[in-house]
Amino acid sequence: DTAVSQTPKYLVTQMGNDKSIKCEQNLGHDTMYWYKQDSKKFLKIMFSYNNKELIINETVPNRFSPKSPDKAHLNLHINSLELGDSAVYFCASSRAGYEQYFGPGTRLTVT
């Protein structure tokens, strides 16, 4: 009965590779988000989707491409991974005007 789930939980890969993180929510929310938490624990929004439509793109490099096949799923694909991409990536979902529920996070390590 997990509300927001992400896979994988850990991802270790080499520079230059392409990887994807998947997110699913079973809360019936219309809006989903990707946040990045850096090594200093600072959280910043990357993308927001509302009903499968991209709403927010916060100056994220083009190597990051979100995809929402339906309003319950929001995936993040990252091309040509760089060392600086190492971080924890959180998926979240919400109804408009209400709190956001976060997934467990995906710890990405680029070597």
Partner 1 sequence: AQKITQTQPGMFVQEKEAVTLDCTYDTSDPSYGLFWYKQPSSGEMIFLIYQGSYDQQNATEGRYSLNFQKARKSANLVISASQLGDSAMYFCAMRELSSQGGSEKLVFGKGTKLTVNP
Rounded distance, CA 26 to CA 93, Å?
10
Give the other-Cβ count within 10 Å of 105's Cβ: 17
Instruction: Provide the binding-site residues for partner 1, judged by CB under 8 A.
Output: 31, 33, 35, 40-45, 48, 50, 55-58, 88, 90, 92, 94, 96-102, 104-105, 107
Q: Which is nearer to partner 1, 73 or 101 (CB)?
A: 101
Q: Which is nearer to partner 1, 9 or 16 (CB)?
A: 9
Q: Which two tokens stand for residue 58?
A: 């916060």
Give min distance, CB of 29 to partner 1, in A.
12
Largest CA distance in the chain: 39
Beta strands in the chain (DSSP E): 4-7, 10-13, 19-25, 31-37, 43-50, 53-57, 64-70, 73-78, 87-94, 101-102, 106-110
Q: Which is nearer to partner 1, 17 or 109 (CB)?
A: 109
Give min distance, CB of 80 to partner 1, in A.
25
Give min distance, CB of 110 to partner 1, in A.
18
Q: Which is nearer to partner 1, 70 or 99 (CB)?
A: 99
Give min distance, CB of 16 to partner 1, in A.
27
Rounded distance, CA 94 to CA 96, Å?
6
